[in-house]
Amino acid sequence: MASVEFKSVTKSFGDFKAVSEVNFNIGDGEFVCLLGPSGCGKTTSLRMMAGLETPTSGQILIGGDEVTHLHPKDRNIAMVFQDYALYPHMNLADNIAYPLKVRGEAVANRHGRAREVADVLKIGHLMDRLPSQISGGQQQRTSLARALVYPAKVYLFDEPLSNLDAKLRLEARGFLNHLQRDMGMTAVYVTHDQAEAMALATRIAVMDQGKIVQYASPIEIYRRPATTFVANFVGNPPMNLVEVDGTQAGGQLVLKGEGLAMAGLPMTDAIGNALASSSKLTLGVRPEHLSLTAAGATNSISAPLFANENMGPESLVTIDRGEGARVTARIFTDDHLHVSDQVSLSFSAEHVHLFDAMGKRIPAVGE
Amino acid sequence: MKNRMCAFALGLIGASAVAVPAFAVDLDITCRCVIGGVNSATAEWLEEQVIPAFEAANPDINVTLNQFGGEDAQLTQQLALDFSTGAGPDISAFDGFLIPAFAEGGQLKSLDDLIGEDYANWEGWDHISPGIRSIMSYDGETYGIGLGTDVRMIFVRKDLLEQAGIPADWQPTSWDDVLDAARKLKEAGVEAPLQLNAGVAMGEATTMQGYWMALLGTGEGVTDENGKFIVESQGILDVLNLYKTIYVDEGLGDQRAQLLADGRNRSFANFRDGKTAMLVEGDWFYRSVTAPGSEFEVADRGNVMSWVKMPAEEPGSAIRGQDFVSISGGTGFVINPNTDAPMEAWKLLSFMMSKEQMTAFQDYQPGIRSRSDVPIPNNPFLTETSQTLLPLTTARPNDPNYNAVSQEIQRMTEAVVSGELSPEEAMAQYKAAVTAIVGEENTVSLL
Amino acid sequence: MNLTIPAFFGRIAFSALAALIGAVFALPLLWFLFAPFNAQAQMGLAVPDPWTLSNFVTVFGNSYAVQALWNSFIQATGGVILVGAAATLAAYALSRSSVPGKGAVTYVLLLFSSVVSGSAAMVPIFLIISAAGIMDTHVAVILTFAGGLLPTAMFILRDFIDSIPKSYEESAMVAGASPVQAFFDVALPVIRPGIVVVVVWSFVNIWGSFLIPFVLLRSSDNMPASVAIYSFYSEAGTPIVTLLAAYSLIYSLPVVALYLFVSWKFGFRFFGGIKA
Amino acid sequence: MTTEPISTQPQRKVRNFALLSNRAGAAFMLPAGLLVSVFVIVPFFWVIFVSFTNRTLIGKTALNPDFVGLGNYLALFDPATFFQRGQFGFSLILTTQFVLMSALVGQALLGLLLAWLIQTVPPWIKRITETFVIAAWILPEVVIGFAWFAFLDRDAGTLNMLLTGLGLPPGDFLLQQPFWVIVVFNTWRGAAFSMMLFNSAFSSIPPSYFQAADVAGASSWQKFRDIGLPLIRGHIVTDLILITMWTFNTFTPFLLTNGGPSYRTELVSIYNYRVAFQDFQFGKGAAVGVIMMLINLAFALIYLRLGRKKAPKS
């Protein structure tokens, strides 16, 4: 197991910068998720770690050694591909044992080892089958087995669960979580599914437009998203973002917006700095921190009901503030609400997130 | 020159010079002849007679016969390529009319250049007439040895003539006689009484057996006495009108046979099946095509088939003031100008053409041989035709452009026979094409 | 299955139409069913009476014709191996390496593929082969065919390889394989269906081709069947239909057998590989 | 972890990783490159060069050809003779009609129809039909030539026997309708390619698309027009261009008609062969070859453009 470090790594394809001046390091034994929408550079970053792309500039270190221009085969890493890349002409045993074959292991040894790994992954009984003869979940585990069959410094995962249906994905996620804790492996895991990242990662690097926007533990990212982008990406449903106008009045911050009724918030230097450049702020509240309230309550937001989705234990109540600006609340009641009813949702001041005009988080008191 | 050894030299571009081991020489001989197929007799003669005898006399020379199964024109293509690069057989069968073009192209060397003294001193020259020697010559130089020559005539079906009320001893003396007979035959129910070759598909057979045989009857040739190509003349128009009468206006001949790719064989089949009563062909038609056992064998040939002389347009209007015409070609064998073993090749060539081997050839296929000391076998047909027609016959011009012009002739006849162009238009097209080939200064108009 | 009545008749009409087109395609080949087994076949269609194998006996008795089939086999096999190997390597390089100008190469190839096959190129090819001193050898024919067929073969294969995910080789390399190992262990087997198409296509081309062997070969010992078939002509130069038909049938069998074998074993079709 | 900058060497030009390094790629391309250079590219330039001379195969100009500049081209495009039967313009127009009728109409439409039909018919009919169509494509051309000769024979050919049997008048097809003979022949010979290409295109369409149309009550024709056809547009473009090029260059009809009777089936490829190998005029034949190359180049460029438009590479 080894650490991974990026030193101002840039990757351009022509004029397009897929990854731009990225710096970060992954500690030994960490499970890091690269999270972001498609095209954000997360897969390119992973492929540069694997050696499948060469950085335009910057350095990549694995275990403290520079590997920037090292051929993938010389990096001693393992990787699970999104499409599994199982060799259609080899049976499962040969597929799983292939890394051992190129390492010169004897047939008996490598098949024995492959069988051990396969048994752990509960595909041991399928060793004679071809990849086309097994299910998608089994294929996924086969590709996992092929990565696990030899001790690698770093394990790379490129959206390995995205081709599975919801139930299998949940199952595989749990298994990976268990495995990581068991093996203590260094892993880098690319995904666009925030739930997967939250569940698996010790740290998450949220990427947008070739840059790392925030690199922190899942709980930190959930509690203190660094930008509106992160706030909007993490959480299910994501954080509600309301554009507001902020003014300073009597040592307090007063926020005004359509249907918004709020008490003043305590001023900080950071707020002052933000207001100095623009009065346009963004107010963020997570759906789970909203609850139904009577009209006109303080710290509430009101608008006509747009949708009420019953999810079993909870309901998702969405109100429409016009022009597509909607606010969703997660509520553990089954009140009967009707479309176009005026609904007010309240929140407490401690759950308020503020972002400046550039979308950057304004630290709350005590952060 | 089988470059087997050169396979080892693959990649060594330019390695064309092959050392000939002193102890053994391989000679290749090619002809358009296949045992059991095309020109089977020649192939059998070479394979069974000449080669064993020669190898017995020359144990250090191995001879291989390449039987070429394609068409004449295809063999010409191969030889033209081979002789310009040093590939190809050491000795090849060769049609005399191509000698000038090959000689001009450097694709043949005169025997004088190639062999020298041995050639000049060969005993055979004393027995080959200058006329026959000239078939394989150009510009005063000899390039090969002729195997023999041939003559052309009208073959007739006596049984059909009789049906149409034409006397058994009929001999036409003008084109009109021929056309009248054809009309009578047509009335008597003969489908396509007259066959005068035309069209592109038959190649040189159109020029020789068709166009020339008619043109000579007008008193003209393809070239004038100065060797200039005649591109416009009354003679050409008369010939084209004759074709038009036969195939377009009166339907006296099988138009399809002139136009289809296998037309010549159709014309043979027509004659065999009694659909054609008069067919202009060379003596080969009698010796080989209709011979007993062949595909176009004419049943009861002795009683049914005969021949007449090709008449002039009008009596006395033919070339040299003759009443009747014939034209002769000839084939022979030539030596590859780049052969590794010219002397051995000459040894084989002169051996083939020796009196003994030529006489043996008569057993395979009787014919008019180039050597006067090889008698025409006791064959009434050959004796009669050669005696009657050789004095009347003509040869093609010895000109390197003849081959190209001949193809234009074939095109001109096809344009008329298909009804596509009038004789005047076809001649105009011919004039333009020939002028482009030989240059205006080498053409002449007689109109 | 529940079909409505119009749909049912629609099915039948479709099947009938398909069968009819199949029959129309078979018609010109019908002659091969009869003529080879007829002692006196003409160009026309006639049911043999009686059926006989004598034509085949005659054909097999002709050592030249039998040798020619063997020559065809040598030339086609040699050519196919060369085309298959060279095209696979080159198409793989065009698809997977970043050699400069590889995009242009593909389209230049497409241009060449249909241009130089014509008769105009025969003379320079003859001159090249002659200068190399390999006239009248199987090698000459094999090399020439390989050169001529390669552009199209590379074009077809490159498209095919482009459609194969790179993750196959990438996973192999991450797992420790060298580029050469990844090529032979992983890429080659995955490309195989594409190679099969190219191989069949090349074989059929070489097997049926007349012009190149005709221009480059001289001795009867080396001629392939496409040229030898012209030896079944009579003294007068007309085709001997019975032997021709019998020989044609024998000569056609290998390509049909190859096609049937390949379509049974691998499935002979375009895998969406050729696309704009 | 080191704090020193690891690489202080001057920045050298860095090669991007590729599955195959440039050096290995070059090695992989070497055999094909050599073969194509020697047997395709060298002849290509030779032909261009010779097209500016009056080189012939035999005769004086075989040995010492003269440089004639554009003479051969001017002769080919001589307006006085251009459209005459047996001249270049005539065969160019003939070839255009031939390509239109036999490739674009014949092969493409028949191939499309066949590909559509065999999607739905019972497997055994599919297999038999497919086999015959493909047989027409793969059998050696010499053999096909004989088969068609026998098929079209006026007196005893299969076709005339069939027509007579159906009470129709027999025809003398090779002589009377030679152009339509080669059109039908080429359609027959080449439909397999279009069929296979479209077949693979149709099978790449998810069946759910058609099932959705079934549910909506679409007829076969509607399914074909509204779903099948739009989804395989890319394949149609490829098919049309490839078969256009192949048909433009095809020589096989020569085996059936020798270009005749009276040039009525003399396609440019056959014209080229006649000029170069029967008239032995290499210079002129080479000029025809060069013009054919230019026409092919035009096709290739169209292909390139359409291909680019469809797949903008990021």
**Helix-helix angle A92-102:A136-148, to 10 degrees:** 20
- The full DSSP string for B358-402 is HHHHHHHS--EESBTTSPPPS-HHHHHHHHHHGGGEEE----TTH
Identify which of B400, B403, B414 has the shortest CB distance to residue D262.
B414
Cβ neighbours of A82 (radius 10 Å): 17
Identify which of D59, D86, D277 has the shortest CB distance to residue B77.
D277
pLDDT tens column, C72-97: 999 999 999 999 999 999 999 988 88
Contacts of B289 in chain C (CB under 8 A): 235-236
Does A99 touch chain C if contact means CB atoms closer than 8 Å?
yes
User: Is B331's pLDDT higher than 90?
Assistant: no
**Coil, strand or helix: which one is B193?**
coil
User: Is C274's pLDDT higher than 50?
Assistant: no
Q: How far is C264 from chain D (nearest CA, A)?
A: 11
Q: What size, in residues, is chain A?
A: 367
Q: Per-residue confidence at B11, pLDDT binned at 50, 70, 90? A: very low
Phi–psi pair at B351, nearest 5 degrees: -65, -45
Q: What is the pLDDT of residue C41?
A: 62
Is C258 in contact with C203 (CB distance < 8 Å)?
A: yes
Cα–Cα distance measured from residue A78 to residue A153, given in angstroms and rounded to the nearest whole number? 8
Pick the range with the lowest mean pLDDT from A359-363, C54-58, C82-86. Answer: C54-58
Q: How far is A103 from chain C (nearest CA, A)?
A: 7
Q: How far is C181 from chain A (nearest CA, A)?
A: 8
Identify which of A73, A79, A81 has the shortest CB distance to residue C177.
A73
Cross-chain residue pair B260–D63, CB shorter than 8 Å:
no
**Coil, strand or helix: which one is B275?**
coil
Does C11 touch chain D if contact means CB atoms closer than 8 Å?
yes
Q: Within a domain: residue C227?
A: yes
Question: Which residues constitute the domain of residue D178?
Answer: 83-310
Do D and C have ≥3 inter-chain CB pairs under 8 A?
A: yes
Is A49 in contact with A62 (CB distance < 8 Å)?
A: yes
Instruction: Work out the mean pLDDT of chain A and round it to a whole number.
Output: 88
Contacts of C177 in chain A (CB under 8 A): 73, 98, 102
Does A358 touch chain C if contact means CB atoms closer than 8 Å?
no
- Amino acid in the structure at residue D57: L
Q: What is the pLDDT of residue B23?
A: 65
Phi–psi pair at A67, nearest 5 degrees: -125, 10
Pick the range with the lowest mean pLDDT from A305-309, C45-49, D50-54. Answer: C45-49
Q: How far is B66 from chain D (nearest CA, A)?
A: 22
Identify which of A52, A77, A85 has the shortest CB distance to residue C165.
A85
User: Is C213's pLDDT higher than 80?
Assistant: yes
- Assigned token pair, A323: 């022009």
Cross-chain residue pair C181–A102, CB shorter than 8 Å:
yes
Residues of D with CB under 8 A from a CB of A: 1-2, 6-7, 14-17, 314
DSSP-H helix ranges across B35-166: 40-44, 51-57, 72-85, 99-104, 111-114, 117-120, 130-135, 158-163
Cα–Cα distance measured from residue D181 to residue D190, given in angstroms and rounded to the nearest whole number? 14
Measuring CA to CA, which residue among A271, A233, A234 is closest to residue A249?
A271
Pick the range with the lowest mean pLDDT from C33-47, D28-42, D77-91, D260-274. Answer: C33-47
Identify which of B11, B13, B296 has the shortest CB distance to residue C236.
B296
User: Is C142's pLDDT higher than 90?
Assistant: yes
Contacts of C156 in chain D (CB under 8 A): none
**Coil, strand or helix: which one is B434?**
helix
Identify which of C174, C181, C186 has the shortest CB distance to residue A79.
C174
Identify which of B400, B415, B436 has the shortest CB distance to residue D262.
B415
Cross-chain residue pair D57–B105, CB shorter than 8 Å:
yes
Contacts of C26 in chain D (CB under 8 A): 132
Cross-chain residue pair C276–D249, CB shorter than 8 Å:
no
In degrees to the nearest 10, what's the CA dihedral of A229, A234, A240, A243?
-10
Cβ neighbours of D104 (radius 10 Å): 15
User: Is B14's pLDDT higher than 70?
Assistant: no
Q: How many domains does chain D have?
A: 1
pLDDT tens column, A112-171: 999 999 998 889 999 999 998 998 889 999 999 999 899 899 999 999 888 888 888 888
Q: Per-residue confidence at B12, pLDDT binned at 50, 70, 90? A: very low
Contacts of B261 in chain D (CB under 8 A): 257-258, 260
Cα–Cα distance measured from residue A316 to residue A332, given in angstroms and rounded to the nearest whole number? 9
CA-nearest residue to C126 within chain B is B81
Q: What is the pLDDT of residue D3?
A: 42
Does C139 touch chain B if contact means CB atoms closer than 8 Å?
yes
Best mean pLDDT range from A70-79, D200-209, D227-236: A70-79
Q: What is the pLDDT of residue C116?
A: 55
Contacts of D140 in chain C (CB under 8 A): 207-208, 225-226, 251-252, 255
Does C190 touch chain A if contact means CB atoms closer than 8 Å?
yes
Can you tell me the ipTM of this complex?
A: 0.80
Using left for φ > 0, alpha for ψ between -120 and 50, and beta otherwise, residue B300 falls in left
Is A205 in contact with A212 (CB distance < 8 Å)?
A: yes
Q: What is the pLDDT of residue C71?
A: 94
Measuring CA to CA, which residue among B373, B403, B396 is closest to residue B136?
B396
Cα–Cα distance measured from residue B373 to residue B336, given in angstroms and rounded to the nearest whole number? 27
Q: What is the pLDDT of residue C172?
A: 93
Do A and B have ≥3 inter-chain CB pairs under 8 A?
A: no
**Chain D contacts in chain C segment 40-59 (CB below 8 A):** 42-46
Cross-chain residue pair D16–A54, CB shorter than 8 Å:
yes
List all residues 6 or more positions away from D65 whose beta carbon is below 8 Å from its beta carbon: D50, D53, D54, D55, D56, D283
Identify which of B102, B400, B432 has the shortest CB distance to residue D81.
B432
CATH 3.40.50.300 residue ranges in chain A?
Answer: 4-232
Q: What is the pLDDT of residue D296?
A: 80
Q: What is the pLDDT of residue B97?
A: 87
Cα–Cα distance measured from residue A194 to residue A207, given in angstroms and rounded to the nearest whole number? 12
Cα–Cα distance measured from residue B146 to residue B331, given in angstroms and rounded to the nearest whole number? 6
Q: What is the pLDDT of residue A128?
A: 93
In degrees to the nearest 10, what's the CA dihedral of C156, C157, C161, C162?
-30
**Helices and strands (H and E) in chain A: how many:** 9, 22
Contacts of C136 in chain B (CB under 8 A): 2-3, 87
User: Higher pLDDT residue, A62 or B148?
Assistant: A62
Pick the range with the lowest mean pLDDT from B338-352, C229-243, D34-48, D139-153. Answer: C229-243
Question: Which residues constitute the domain of residue C168?
Answer: 54-265
CATH 2.40.50.140 residue ranges in chain A?
Answer: 237-362
Angle at D19 between CA A10 and CA C194, to 5 degrees: 140
Cross-chain residue pair A59–D6, CB shorter than 8 Å:
yes
Cross-chain residue pair D14–A69, CB shorter than 8 Å:
yes
CA-nearest residue to A150 within chain C is C175
Contacts of C246 in chain D (CB under 8 A): none
Class of the CATH-defined domain A237-362: mainly beta
pLDDT tens column, A277-286: 888 999 999 9
List all residues 6 or more positions away from B310 whose beta carbon is below 8 Å from its beta carbon: B152, B153, B154, B213, B217, B280, B324, B325, B326
Is B32 in contact with B39 (CB distance < 8 Å)?
A: yes
Do C and A have ≥3 inter-chain CB pairs under 8 A?
A: yes
User: What is the interface size between B and D, counted as CB pairs within 8 Å?
Assistant: 80
CA A279 to mean position of chain CA atoms: 31
Is C75 in contact with C213 (CB distance < 8 Å)?
A: yes
Does B64 touch chain C if contact means CB atoms closer than 8 Å?
yes
HSE-CB at B18 with a 13 A cutoff on CA atoms is 27
As a whole number, mean pLDDT of residues D123-141 equals 87
Identify which of D60, D81, D262 has the shortest CB distance to residue B420.
D262
As a whole number, mean pLDDT of residues B359-369 equals 86
What is each CA distance from C79 to C85, C143, C146, C248, in whole angstroms?
10, 7, 6, 22
DSSP-H helix ranges across chain C: 5-26, 31-34, 54-61, 63-96, 102-115, 122-131, 138-162, 167-174, 179-181, 188-208, 211-216, 225-228, 241-265
Contacts of B9 in chain C (CB under 8 A): 132-134
List all residues 6 or more positions away from B166 whose beta carbon is below 8 Å from its beta carbon: B181, B184, B185
Contacts of B401 in chain D (CB under 8 A): 59
User: What is the interface size between B and C, counted as CB pairs within 8 Å?
Assistant: 113
Optimal mutation site among A9, A11, A15, A54, interface D, most CBs of chain D within 10 A: A54
Query: What CATH number is given to the structural domain containing D87?
Result: 1.10.3720.10
Q: How far is D298 from chain A (nearest CA, A)?
A: 30
Q: How far is A349 from chain C (nearest CA, A)?
A: 50
What is each CA distance from D211 to A126, D102, D220, D225, D227, in whole angstroms?
34, 34, 12, 15, 11
pLDDT tens column, D187-224: 999 898 888 888 888 877 777 888 887 787 777 788 88
Q: What is the pLDDT of residue B196?
A: 94
**Coil, strand or helix: which one is C38?**
coil
**Coil, strand or helix: which one is C268?**
coil
- DSSP state for residue B86 in the 8-state scheme: T
- The residues with which B368 forms a beta bridge, in sequence order, are B149
pLDDT tens column, B186-227: 999 888 999 999 998 888 899 999 999 999 999 999 999 888
Q: What is the pLDDT of residue D14?
A: 56
Q: What is the pLDDT of residue D55?
A: 84
Q: Within a domain: residue D69?
A: no
- DSSP state for residue C3 in the 8-state scheme: -
User: Higher pLDDT residue, C238 or A320?
Assistant: A320
B181-185 long-range contacts, Cβ below 8 Å, gap at least 24? B181/B277, B181/B278, B182/B246, B182/B250, B182/B252, B182/B253, B182/B277, B182/B278, B183/B250, B183/B252, B185/B160, B185/B161, B185/B277, B185/B278
Which domains does chain B carry?
A: 5-142+330-394 (3.40.190.10), 152-327+397-445 (3.40.190.10)
Is B49 in contact with B35 (CB distance < 8 Å)?
A: no
Q: What size, in residues, is chain C?
A: 276
- The full DSSP string for chain D is ---S-S--S--PPPPPP-SB-HHHHHHHHHHHHHHHIIIIIHHHHHHHHHTTB--BSSSHHHHSPPB-TTHHHHHHT-TTTTTSTTSHHHHHHHHHHHIIIIIIIIIHHHHHHHHHHHHHS-HHHHHHHHHHHHHHHHS-HHHHHHHHHHHH-TTT-HHHHHHHHTTPPP--HHHHSHHHHHHHHHHHHHHHHHHHHHHHHHHTS-HHHHHHHHHTT--HHHHIIIIIHHHTHHHHHHHHHHHHHHHHH--TTHHHHTT-STTTT--HHHHHHIIIIIS-BHHHHHHHHHHHHHHHHHHHHHHHHHHHHH----
Q: How many domains does chain C have?
A: 1
As a whole number, mean pLDDT of residues D28-35 equals 90
CA-nearest residue to A72 within chain C is C174
In the block, residue with structure tokens 């009579």: C234
Q: What size, in residues, is chain D?
A: 314
Cα–Cα distance measured from residue D306 to residue D311, given in angstroms and rounded to the nearest whole number? 9
- Assigned token pair, B317: 């209007």
Cα–Cα distance measured from residue B93 to residue B30, given in angstroms and rounded to the nearest whole number? 6
As a whole number, mean pLDDT of residues D90-96 equals 91
Q: Assess whether the previous peptide bond of D5 is cis (omega < 30° from 0).
A: no
Q: How far is A99 from chain D (nearest CA, A)?
A: 17
Q: Per-residue confidence at D24, pLDDT binned at 50, 70, 90? A: confident
Cross-chain residue pair D122–C15, CB shorter than 8 Å:
yes
User: Is D6's pLDDT higher than 50?
Assistant: no
CATH match of A4-232 with 3.40.50.300: yes
Which subunits count as partners of chain A given 3+ CB pairs below 8 Å? Answer: C, D
